[in-house]
Homo-oligomer: A and B are copies of this chain.
Amino acid sequence: MAEKKKIGILGASGYTGAELVRLLLGHPRVEIALLTADRKAGRTMAEVFPQFIGADLPDLVALDDVDWRKAGLDLVFCALPHGTTQLVIKALLAAAPRTRVVDLSADFRLHDLDAYAYWYGHAHQAAELQREAVYGLVEVYRKAVKGARLVANPGCYTTAAQLPLLPLLKARAIDPQSIVIDAKSGVSGAGRAAKEANLFTEVAEGIHAYGVGHHRHMAELDQEFSAAAGRPVRPTFTPHLVPMSRGILATIYVTARRGRAPQDLHAILEKAYRREGFVHVLPYGAVPQTRHVRGTNMVQIGVAADRTEGRAIVCCVLDNLVKGASGQAVQNMNLMLGFAEATGLRQAAIFP
């Protein structure tokens, strides 16, 4: 067997970091060589995430203590907060220019520096890398990802909205002005930081919308939807917090263009994903559930007709920590390092 590639994970004490570890432990071609976590430096991964008791993993170290040159990493996953991320990756690539990077933050997702500045409130600190970065929605940018040094892993909400909508926009099959995305997410999307709003007692036994009318994920949708449609598209998007740990459901309302019926939209999606291993389009009229993709890199999409003629309702589900974050990141890694795309990503869902 070929030698294993050396992988680093920056921000290993968060949920996407832990999920990367979970997936990579079952990956036959890589070894985890570096785990950083500033506040928990010096501890073992098993202390921070006891599900890893018994696994052979390096201890957590502080980011500042890493010597990128000596580390000799083939690829680094960066699961750090946005803002600081761009500085970290800039330094990393300056020191170790041949290391590949998959960034799970939002820092390199927007191509337009002005859009970045508008949504994040400050100028980008690594504009050249921003230009270099490839947007890592594999099903769309597979070819570019293969040759990329820096991949910007898409967001969880936006993956759930893009996979069903991009083929429809490209085919000019729907009215771009009609798009309403009502998205529902599990709480792990909010990360492991201690916040009152994410306490069990605040989240259990209830539901609510947040970021109504203005949410940073919109920037990513605008960019990719506009590219697909060939003209500016600004969808309506409302995220909700659901009392569950994992999963995103995007319920999407669209109006088909004249001459197109909901069945046509279904046919377009079926064709688009016929050969994709991680996207299943359900039979026309069937409705997916988040629990049936839990723990996996799978996406399930359902299309149904509304009773209003020409309006369709498209439901898309994924696991926000897997296809919405760490699984998609591994999928990107597989392409970047020349592995089969699904390596380490074939688990069946945990249900119930």
Contacts and interface: CB of A to CB of B under 8 A. Distances in A.
Interface of A: 15, 18, 21-22, 25-26, 49-55, 177, 180, 182, 184, 186-188, 190, 192-196, 198-210, 212-214, 218, 234, 236, 238, 240, 242-247, 249, 251, 253, 280, 282, 285, 287-296, 298, 300, 302, 304-308, 311, 313, 315, 317, 321, 346-352
B245 A305 contact: no
B306 A236 contact: yes
Given A187-B199, A350-B22, A204 B245 contact: yes
A315 B200 contact: no
A249 B243 CA distance: 13
B244 A207 contact: yes
Contact of A289 (B52, B177, B207): B207
13 contacts: A188-B352, A194-B194, A194-B195, A194-B199, A198-B199, A202-B352, A207-B244, A207-B289, A207-B290, A209-B287, A234-B308, A236-B308, A236-B313
A310 B321 CA distance: 35
Given A205-B205, A243-B242, A348 B198 contact: no
A349 B295 CA distance: 10
Contacts of A243: 200, 204, 242-244
Question: A-B pairs with the 4 shortest C-beta distances?
Answer: A206-B291, A51-B349, A201-B352, A208-B289
A319 B14 CA distance: 23
